[in-house]
Chain A
Amino acid sequence: MHELSIAQALVDQVEEARQANNGGRVISVRIRVGDWQQVVPEILTSYFGYLAQGTPLEAARIVIDPVAATARCYDCGRVFAVEDIFLICPDCESRRCTLLTGKELELTEVELDD
């Protein structure tokens, strides 16, 4: 259900971008979604379509670029892909690690018809 809040925020931002560019209809919307955000793409897309009904956004295609989780170890500095959920350094086994990527939820591109 959090997809509904995300979809609403996205619709608002796409509409702002569209108006700022004197745009017509929106053809596609590109977003980056981190693995750790637990967003279900189909649900987000379907809520977007629901909220955009009857607006210049209604036919927009949602393109989702997933972002894999990566982390950095505070102790040895190693940057690593978080493959099995846990933030444990594969080199020194330290648990003092910080997520670098994986929590993204970003609008990156809006395509308008000319």
Chain B
Amino acid sequence: MEIKVLRNILEANDRAADEVRANLAAAGVTAFNLIGGPGSGKTSILEQTIPRLRDRRRVGVLEGDIATTRDAERIAALGVPVVQLLTGGGCHLEATFVARGLDELGMDGLDLAFIENVGNIACPAEFDLGETAKVGVLSVTEGHDKPAKYPLLFHEISALVLGKIDLLPHTDFDVEAFESDFRGLNPYAPVFPLSCRTGEGVAPFVDWLERVHEGTEIPVRRPRDQ
């Protein structure tokens, strides 16, 4: 007996993501899902941006990792609430996990929430977490070929941080090739070249985060269903 069905296999995750989105909206919280490879600088970017936001905005962080609380400790040192999400081997965060994390963090009294995904530029791109915007993090040491090699992530993101630009002279990172490839996947997302070492370029990224929170900038979201 053959049974015809047509179901989105990730619909349970997507339903949970819709619930997160509704809860965030009700609480007036803007959530950014940071996706980048291990060592791309996601936590360092938070260490640079949070102190610049802290005086004006109430910020909370969910730290996704496979193991250890090291990143959460770095964030806690900034004096903002943080909840560590340990996947115990899982390569990405899913919406139900984020929902529990946000409950623990407490959305009331927050303006911005950062969700630092597990270091990985393949799997996290597929899972809607209910975030306001996905922000890709790529460092110049990873190479300019990454957009072409991981097209889904670079297609889905609403903004890209291009990190470690202080190291540009020491790498073979080809900025033109990167731009051309990236724009072939995503003509809309703003790119923020920055260096956490020197602080160069951090301010425009912080301004963008604030504009998205204020609603003066609407991040492009790729539709989940086509």
Contact = CB atoms under 8 A, between A and B. Distances in A.
Interface string B122-155: 1100110000000000000000000010111001
Contacts of B26: none
Interface in A1-51: 1-2, 4-6, 9-10, 12-13, 17, 21, 23, 31, 36-38
Contact of A112 (B3, B92, B126): B3
A23 B2 contact: no
A108 B4 contact: yes
B7 A23 contact: no
Contacts of A1: 89-92, 123
Contacts of B152: 36-38, 103
Chain A: interface residue count, which band? 35 or more
Contacts of A85: 148, 151, 184-185
Interface residues of B, number: 34
A113 B9 CA distance: 23
Nearest to A103: B226
Contacts of A109: 2-5
Contacts of B185: 85-87
B89 A107 contact: no
A80 B82 CA distance: 45
A10 B12 CA distance: 10
Contacts of A10: 9
Given A1-B91, A99-B226, A109-B4, 19 more contacts: A2-B91, A4-B90, A5-B92, A17-B3, A23-B3, A36-B151, A38-B150, A85-B185, A87-B155, A87-B184, A88-B184, A95-B183, A98-B226, A107-B7, A107-B9, A109-B2, A110-B2, A112-B2, A113-B1
Q: Report, nearest first, the 6 A-B pairs whose CB atoms are least far apart.
A: A86-B184, A2-B123, A1-B91, A95-B187, A105-B9, A107-B7
10 contacts: A6-B10, A36-B151, A38-B150, A85-B151, A88-B184, A96-B187, A102-B226, A103-B152, A105-B9, A108-B4
